[in-house]
């Protein structure tokens, strides 16, 4: 079966005509600029991190303190009630020992990403559940354990930018 495509009017061009500059061409790419709006909850959280404080939002429905903060509780779908300052200490919920970076570079000294359950966050019963992902440091990888108490190591105030990396890492408490 032969399919005939209707020809479009126009002038066919050859590679030779392009190479000899007989055809005007313009090269370009998209200028895709964007801005990220942190929103009210994360915006305030980042501002507090710059000041060396960790904050969350309290939910009156399930009595949790949400860190990172959210304006709506995802468990009971209620608006959160107020800002709560929490400690810069916590416990290791889970961790990994990584000898390769995210972009596949081998490491002699491993990175130790961990989920840190923040003291004063989560359910009031004290069970885990409100943590942040960050790096552990100043610790022998062989001594890291789930449940290990840790404390935030903050960058110097003049080095902080209002991001989660204002906490340099977490070390054993």
- Residue 133 vs residues 24, 100, 141: alpha-carbon distances, Å: 53, 17, 17
Low-confidence ranges of the chain (pLDDT < 50): none
- Give the integer Cα–Cα distance in Å for 119 and 73: 19
pLDDT at 4: 57
pLDDT of residue 19: 85
Hey, what are 133's tokens? 């992902």
Annotated domain spans of the chain: 36-172
The pLDDT score that the predictor gives to residue 126 is 53
User: How confident is the model over 53-90, as pLDDT tens digits?
Assistant: 999 999 999 889 999 999 999 889 999 999 999 999 99
């Amino acid at each position: 079966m032969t399919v005939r495509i209707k020809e479009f009017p126009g002038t066919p061009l050859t590679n030779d005509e392009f190479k000899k500059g007989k055809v005007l061409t313009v090269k370009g790419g998209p200028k895709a600029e964007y801005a990220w709006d942190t929103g009210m909850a994360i915006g305030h959280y980042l501002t507090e991190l710059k000041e060396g404080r960790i904050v969350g939002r309290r939910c009156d429905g399930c009595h949790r303190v949400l860190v990172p903060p959210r304006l709506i509780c995802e468990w009971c779908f209620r608006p959160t009630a107020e800002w709560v300052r929490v400690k810069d200490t916590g416990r290791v919920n889970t961790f990994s020992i990584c000898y390769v970076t995210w972009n596949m570079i081998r490491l002699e000294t491993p990175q130790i990403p961990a989920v840190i359950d923040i003291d004063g966050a989560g359910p009031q019963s004290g069970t885990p559940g409100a943590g942040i992902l960050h790096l552990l440091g100043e610790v022998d990888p062989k001594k890291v354990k789930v449940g290990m108490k840790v404390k935030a190591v903050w960058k110097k105030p003049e080095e902080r930018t209002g991001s989660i990396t204002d906490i340099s890492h977490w070390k054993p408490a």
